[in-house]
Amino acid sequence: MSSTRFQRILLKVGGESLIGDRDYGIDPQAALNVAERIKSIHEKGVQVAVVIGGGNIFRGISASKNGIDRATADYMGMLATVMNALALQDALEKSNVETRVQSALVMPSVAESFVRRRAIRHMEKGRVIILAAGTGSPYVTTDTGASLHALELQCDVLMKATKVDGIFDKDPVKFPDARRFKTLTFADAINMPGVEVMDTAALAMSKENNMPLMVFELFKGNNLQEAVEGGDVGTYVSNDVETAFA
């Protein structure tokens, strides 16, 4: 057992974290940078499941606006997450972290199929489990996959790594006066105008099942290590807090 606050976490990493300086696709060095962060908490004995996105390669909703059938485009997006999962697996194993990829779309030549009890067993044996293909169903994103997997794998918390350090009252990239929340209720995360966290479906599932959510920047300082130790990083979303600015 680890001595950290959280023993088992679900880390949601967007596909863009693998893009590096490119406009599109996978930069192996960026994958290694993500792997290094994951390794730093794995070394502390934290059990880690990673849900990887696909936005660096393909997003269903954008492709459907350009004329591809929405469900087909979403399946293409899920395939993109499988490519990212393999890239992250490669980077983690190069960093001497044992891993397994499990996919919600059956693909036996490249990944195990998602089996809940098996995923838990892998984590108990010290393997980082990388979950590909989100939920395996179209019309949602990997955020919903992350919320679902956090619940069924009995994680202590869902951590969403983002490009900005937490949740703001408006887009901090566009508005320099945007303010960061230190804590946020799920109700406010869902209903407050201007606040964008993750899909409503994902938030609703986390809210109804009391799965706390932390949102922070993966590459800022030692954010991930501090987060698993219960440090005050990014924004903490729960049913048990009051909404407050940092």
Binding site for ligand UDP (CB under 6 A): 14-16, 53-55, 59-61, 74, 77-78, 80-81, 134-135, 137-138, 140-145
Neighbouring C-alpha atoms within 13 Å toward the C-beta of 241: 21
Using the minimum distance from each CB to ligand UDP, give the nearer residue, 66 or 96: 66
Using the minimum distance from each CB to ligand UDP, give the nearer residue, 183 or 205: 205
Using the minimum distance from each CB to ligand UDP, give the nearer residue, 183 or 237: 237
Using the minimum distance from each CB to ligand UDP, give the nearer residue, 15 or 166: 15
Minimum gap (Å) between residue 244 Cβ and ligand UDP = 27
Minimum gap (Å) between residue 107 Cβ and ligand UDP = 14
DSSP conformation letters of 18-72: G-TTSSSS--HHHHHHHHHHHHHHHTTT-EEEEEE--TTT--HHHHHHTTS-HHH
Whether the Cβ atoms of residue 191 and residue 239 lie closer than 8 Å to each other: no
Minimum gap (Å) between residue 146 Cβ and ligand UDP = 9
User: What phi and psi, each to the nearest 5 degrees, are found at residue 243?
Assistant: -70, 125
Minimum gap (Å) between residue 209 Cβ and ligand UDP = 17
